[in-house]
Copies of this chain bind each other. A is one copy, B any other.
Amino acid sequence: MTITQQKSNFTDSVEVDVSHNPVYVGVEVAILEQRLPPGMRLAEKDLAEIYGVSRTIVRAGLQALSHSHLVTLRPNRGASVANPSPREAREVFEARELLEPRSAREAALKATKKDIADLRLHAEAEHEAMQENSSGRALRLSGLFHVKIARIANQQTIANFIESLVSRSSLIIALYWTRSSTRCDEHCHNAIIDALERNDPDEAEQLMRSHLVEMHSALQFGVPEARNKNLKAILGQ
């Protein structure tokens, strides 16, 4: 027991590094792209086979995903893709409506030319995904746009909250989005970029707020239909 305090020789705390865990990365992207439907069971043995790792790695990845509210773990019953309740869905969008307009305002004050160029490129990628009918990829990119705005605002703590809320939104949209209302991210996102480029905080804040309200109001908290898919077909390497 020779353990003492370590020298604080690193300035910034290092986040949990799960970026190298193939299970975490693969399942996260699959959820964000709506290839894995809410509620789908994620058996450890299957994931271990799919990614060619041991259950040790699988469990670490699943635990991390459950911290992000993307996966639900129940003792002795294993993991499944999270299944956010109507209440949780409402709360997530309420939280986004609280945090993101403020972030957009800050981003408008701080955005550099490089930031704007990056966002324009990103919007282009979103547009392409839409064109080629990759709706899953388009949805994930759309979420990433919101995270990028938050990162430009340079408040990492709040940006992390927003990132978590945005991720959960993919599941919420999968469950509660009304087929009738069509998504119009392209127009909204371009308008927000314009406001950032003009360094117009009021406009950026207001555009972000109405964009979120619009999304929120397109959700219908009824009973979602069932789905049924094959895990290996979805995640197959």
Contact = CB atoms under 8 A, between A and B. Distances in A.
A119 B226 CA distance: 43
A112 interface: no
A74 B5 contact: no
Contacts of A46: 1, 3
Contact of A6 (B7, B40, B165): B40
Contacts of A156: 88, 91
Given A5-B228, A5-B229, A41-B5, A13 B157 contact: no
A11 B10 CA distance: 43
Nearest to A231: B3
Given A16-B73, A82-B13, A229 B4 contact: yes
Contact of A13 (B14, B41, B83, B224): B83
B60 A63 contact: yes
Interface in A200-237: 224, 226-232
Interface of A: 1, 3-8, 10-17, 37-43, 46, 49, 59-60, 63-64, 66-67, 69, 72-75, 80, 82-85, 87-88, 91-92, 94-95, 98-99, 102, 155-158, 161, 165, 224, 226-232
Given A16-B67, A17-B73, A94-B155, 8 more contacts: A1-B231, A4-B41, A4-B228, A13-B69, A15-B66, A67-B67, A91-B156, A98-B99
23 contacts: A4-B40, A4-B41, A4-B230, A5-B229, A8-B38, A8-B39, A10-B83, A11-B85, A12-B85, A12-B88, A13-B69, A13-B72, A13-B83, A13-B85, A16-B63, A16-B67, A17-B73, A17-B75, A59-B60, A91-B158, A94-B157, A95-B155, A98-B158
